[in-house]
């Protein structure tokens, strides 16, 4: 006699208007991959979280790798750096990097997922590699372009090494995220409440402020009055 308080689903197509399971699975997979990493998250974990069977999950995504790439593609849609219309003001564009850091500080799961994918993806045969490669290429090129346009507009010293500076901004963003995640985990483990509010996190590391510092460093060296 099945308990009436656990109305488990029977096989068969669900009634119309039911939850969009595919979206639910993507959301839960995103969360779990970010929390525990890709390799350490099983299809069973994701299925349980999405309240569907493993077989049901595979029906939608075919394989674990299929699920992974679907999550990646969805995340790519949210990725806005390299997309924003930069105009020709590099320094305003660099501010969007600082803003991005501030946004990231609000969604540590996202940061965790990104970092995990970034390390997994360095291997050329990994499913995430193509994604990572494009991500780096887009971010670096967009930023380098911004510097070049700044030179054309006269707001950047013509000797500034655009490409190398762009790489620096991207690397700093990634590396700082690692330190921030580590500090955050420490704080959480110590039982200290880690507030979700972005402006004062109580952490010894302010993601946005650190980005600001480097942007200012670059500006101090290469900015030209317009």
Partner DNA sequence: GAATTTATCGACCGGACGGTCAATAACTTG
Partner DNA sequence: CAAGTTATTGACCGTCCGGTCGATAAATTC
Q: Which residues bind DNA (CB under 7 A)?
A: 8-19, 21-22, 41-45, 51-56, 58-60, 62-65
* 62 burial level (CB within 10 Å; 0-12, 13-18, 19+): exposed
Minimal distance, residue 13 CB to its own copies, in Å: 36
| Residue number, 27 or 58, with CB nearest to DNA | 58
Residues 61-80 that bind its own copies (CB under 8 A): none
The item of its own copies, DNA, none sharing an interface with residue 210, based on CB under 5 to 8 Å by kind, is its own copies
Q: 124 contacts which partner out of DNA, its own copies, none, CB within 5 to 8 A by kind?
A: its own copies
Whether the Cβ atoms of residue 149 and residue 88 lie closer than 8 Å to each other? yes
x/- map, 161-190, its own copies, by CB under 8 A = x--xx-xx-xxxxxxx-xx-xx-xxx-xx-
Q: What is the DSSP letter of 126?
A: S
Q: Which of 142, 205, 223, 224 is the binder for its own copies (CB under 8 A)? A: 205
What is the three-class DSSP state of 13?
coil
Q: Tell me how far, at minimum, the Cβ of 21 lies from its own copies, in Å.
A: 28
- Taking the complex as a whole, how short is the minimal distance between the CB of residue 185 and DNA, in angstroms? 22
Q: Which is nearer to its own copies, 52 or 218 (CB)?
A: 218
CB of 31 to DNA, least distance (A): 16
Instruction: Give the chain's length.
Output: 226
Could you please report the per-residue DSSP string of 166-198? HHHHHHHHHHHHHHHHHHHHHHHHTT----S-S
Smaller CB separation from DNA, 18 or 199: 18
CA-to-CA dists, residue 183 to 91, 125, 156, 201, angstroms: 29, 32, 35, 11
Torsion of CA 52, 55, 60, 61, to 10 degrees: 120
Among 27, 58, 119, 142, binds its own copies (CB under 8 A): 119
- Which residues lie closer than 8 Å to 20 by C-beta, 6 or more apart? none
Asked if 226 is part of the footprint of its own copies (rule: CB under 8 A), the reply reads no
Give the total of residues touching its own copies (CB under 8 A).
Answer: 50
* Per-residue CA distances from 201 to 184, 196, 197, 198, 216 (Å): 9, 7, 6, 6, 22
Chain positions contacting its own copies, by CB under 8 A: 36-37, 39-40, 112, 115-116, 118-125, 129, 132-133, 136, 140, 161, 164-165, 167-168, 170-176, 178-179, 181-182, 184-186, 188-189, 205, 209-210, 213-214, 217-218, 220-221
């Amino acid at each position: 006699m099945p308990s009436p308080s656990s109305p488990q689903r029977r096989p068969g197509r669900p009634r119309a208007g039911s939850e969009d399971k595919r979206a639910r699975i993507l959301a839960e997979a995103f969360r779990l991959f970010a929390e525990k990493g890709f390799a350490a998250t099983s299809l069973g974990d994701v299925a349980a979280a999405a309240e569907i069977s493993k077989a049901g999950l595979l029906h939608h995504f075919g394989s674990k790798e299929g699920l992974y790439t679907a999550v990646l593609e969805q995340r790519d849609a949210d990725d806005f750096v390299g997309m924003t219309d930069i105009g020709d003001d590099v320094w305003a564009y660099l501010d969007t990097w600082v803003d991005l850091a501030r946004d990231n500080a609000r969604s540590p799961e996202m940061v965790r997922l990104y970092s995990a994918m970034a390390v997994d993806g360095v291997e050329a045969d990994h499913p995430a590699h193509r994604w990572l490669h494009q991500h780096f290429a887009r971010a670096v090129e967009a930023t380098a372009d911004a510097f070049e346009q700044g030179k054309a507009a006269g707001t950047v010293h013509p000797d500034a090494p655009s490409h190398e500076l762009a790489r620096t901004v991207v690397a700093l963003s990634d590396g700082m995220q690692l330190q921030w995640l580590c500090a955050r985990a420490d704080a959480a483990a110590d039982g200290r409440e880690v507030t979700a509010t972005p402006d004062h996190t109580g952490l010894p590391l302010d993601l946005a402020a650190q980005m600001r510092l480097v942007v200012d460093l670059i500006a101090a060296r290469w900015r030209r009055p317009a």
